[in-house]
Amino acid sequence: MSNEKIILTGDRPTGRLHVGHYVGSLRRRVELQNSGEFDKIFIMIADAQALTDNAENPEKVRQNIVEVALDYLSVGLDPAKSNIFIQSQITELTELTFYYMNLVTVARLQRNPTVKAEIKMRNFEASIPVGFMCYPISQASDITAFKATVVPVGEDQEPMIEQTREIVRKFNSVYGETLVEPDIMLPTDASCLRLPGIDGKAKMSKSLGNCIYLSEEPEEIRKKVMSMYTDPDHLKVSDPGKIEGNTVFTYLDAFCKDEHFAAFCPDYNNLSEMKDHYKRGGLGDVKVKKFLNEVLQSTLEPIRNKRHEFEKDIPYVYEVLRKGTEAAKEVAAETLHEVKDAMKINYFDDAALIAEQSEKYKA
Ligand code: TRP
């Protein structure tokens, strides 16, 4: 098998992307893209997967494809280097899923921790759509169709990659070495693994209304930062404050660089000096929040400006997706052909099969 280094990753188009997506994966994707270390990069807008739990809401998915594409382009994903495409248009992925389904048990899907958590969150317990139950198998198709070696994703996707690896091993052991076992690539920084919402709740999510979106306007960003959850016991400026579980500091861990202190808060050289002061007492929440606001504004401004440029030419954005989808389809079709060869179900190309069947009836 080849030694190519191939990335595949993606997002469900159910809303605009937020700063949790940014520190959890988008920022890293752009770095990986620009590192020149990868032979191919595929970034997928997972609309078919989004439909597995939005069957009654196709319009939401349809509307958000371009939103996600705009977010991708505005953070610096470059169509010349990264192939951005729409999942549902690659019918080969569905075909792969159908064959992989035979290699996975219902019990194994029910044990998948991400599926379990999502069933709970969506109150699916009494009536789980079959398509939803099977989405980890479809995700294995996404990854293996492109022979991805590396899948950069958030921590919540770990069970999906594990399930993919099992399917690959099973397929290869039954039908011979065909598919590539992918590795997961997690964020390196703990604060980026799971950025909390502005209310300090475990995860940023649209339904909780606790997100800061990448496309957020400056005044909204400021309001959200000023309303952030901090240390509830830090009542007076002079009180000693806690850093752990303090959302403002978690965000600073994820976003701030030493240069930000020189530019916006020269009282400190770096974040650890600021944290020390906060822990000692004498540093108020408002000052820390104002600093975080500056950091976020300076990070998000160029992204928002770039987005506004792309928003002026939406047909171009769809053209990027169309080209990316065409190129992705070629790759997936090749893998599907190899898969069917391995399974010996490419009957019409199979001269040996036809000869064998003829022999059978000659005697
Ligand atoms: N499950 C991912 C999410 O919810 C999206 C996704 C679909 C994906 N297929 C993928 C991610 C393949 C990585 C690889 O965000």
Which atom of ligand 1 has the smallest separation from the CA of 160? 1
Task: Reply yes or no on whether the pLDDT at 145 is more than 70.
Answer: yes
- Mean pLDDT for all residues in the chain: 94
Residue 332: count other Cβ atoms within 10 Å of its Cβ.
Answer: 23
Which atom of ligand 1 has the smallest separation from the CA of 139? 9
CA of 10 to the centre of ligand 1 (A): 5
Q: Is-contact 80 327, C-beta < 8 A?
A: no
Query: Is the distance from the beta carbon of residue 143 to the nearest atom of ligand 1 less than 6 Å?
Result: yes
Q: Which CATH superfamily is domain 218-310 in?
A: Tyrosyl-Transfer RNA Synthetase (1.10.240.10)
Q: Is-contact 52 135, C-beta < 8 A?
A: yes
> Which CATH code of 3.40.50.620, 2.40.160.10, 3.40.50.2300, 3.20.20.70 fits the domain covering 6-194+314-357?
3.40.50.620
Q: Which position has the higher pLDDT, 299 or 118?
A: 299
Query: Is the distance from the beta carbon of residue 46 to the nearest atom of ligand 1 less than 6 Å?
Result: yes
Q: Is-contact 7 150, C-beta < 8 A?
A: yes
**DSSP 8-state class, residue 45:** E
Q: How much is the pTM? A: 0.94
Query: Is the distance from the beta carbon of residue 151 to the nearest atom of ligand 1 less than 6 Å?
Result: yes
Question: How many whole angstroms separate alpha carbon 137 and alpha carbon 104?
Answer: 8
| Percentage of the chain exceeding pLDDT 90 | 88
- Strand order of the β-sheet with 40-45 is 83-86, 40-45, 6-11, 150-152, 183-185
pLDDT at 206 (0 to 100): 78
Query: Is the distance from the beta carbon of residue 139 to the nearest atom of ligand 1 less than 6 Å?
Result: yes
CA of 9 to the centre of ligand 1 (A): 6
Which residues is 86 bridged to in the sheet? 45
CA of 260 to the centre of ligand 1 (A): 33
Please state the domain extents for the chain.
6-194+314-357, 218-310
Element (DSSP H or E) covering residue 76: none
pLDDT at 306 (0 to 100): 97
Q: Is-contact 214 300, C-beta < 8 A?
A: yes
Which pair of tokens denotes residue 290? 């104002």
Residues 6+ apart with CB under 8 A from 24: 154, 187, 192, 193, 194, 195
Mean pLDDT of 229-242: 93
Task: Reply yes or no on whether the pLDDT at 225 is more than 90.
Answer: yes
CB pairs under 8 A, 24+ apart, for 169-173? 170/103, 170/104, 171/100, 171/103, 171/339, 171/342
Beta strands in 5-51 (DSSP E): 6-11, 40-45
CA of 152 to the centre of ligand 1 (A): 10
Mutate which of 25, 44, 71 for ligand 1? The one with the most ligand atoms within 8 Å of its CB, which is 44
CA of 258 to the centre of ligand 1 (A): 33
Which atom of ligand 1 has the smallest separation from the CA of 49? 7
Summarised one tens digit per residue, pLDDT across range 12-71 is 999 999 999 999 889 999 999 999 999 999 999 999 999 999 999 999 999 999 999 999
pLDDT at 268 (0 to 100): 96
Question: How many whole angstroms separate alpha carbon 159 and alpha carbon 150?
Answer: 15
Do 6-194+314-357 and 218-310 share a fold? no
Mean pLDDT of 76-88: 98
Question: How many whole angstroms separate alpha carbon 69 and alpha carbon 144?
Answer: 23
Question: How many whole angstroms separate alpha carbon 75 and alpha carbon 325?
Answer: 20
Residue ID of nearest Cα to ligand 1 atom 9 = 139
Mutate which of 8, 29, 47, 49 for ligand 1? The one with the most ligand atoms within 8 Å of its CB, which is 49
Please report, to the nearest 10 degrees, the dihedral formed by the alpha carbons of residues 290, 293, 294, 295 taken in order. Answer: 120
Residue ID of nearest Cα to ligand 1 atom 15 = 11
Range scoring the smallest mean pLDDT among 33-47, 49-63, 124-138, 322-336: 124-138
Nearest to 181, CA basis, from 228, 212, 215, 143: 143
CA of 306 to the centre of ligand 1 (A): 25
Query: Is the distance from the beta carbon of residue 254 to the nearest atom of ligand 1 less than 6 Å?
Result: no
Query: Is the distance from the beta carbon of residue 86 to the nearest atom of ligand 1 less than 6 Å?
Result: no
Query: Is the distance from the beta carbon of residue 29 to the nearest atom of ligand 1 less than 6 Å?
Result: no
Query: Is the distance from the beta carbon of residue 142 to the nearest atom of ligand 1 less than 6 Å?
Result: yes
Residues 6+ apart with CB under 8 A from 240: 234, 279, 280, 281
Question: How many whole angstroms separate alpha carbon 337 and alpha carbon 15?
Answer: 34
Task: Reply yes or no on whether the pLDDT at 1 is more than 70.
Answer: no
Which residues is 84 bridged to in the sheet? 43
CA neighbours within 13 Å on the CB side: how many for 180?
A: 22
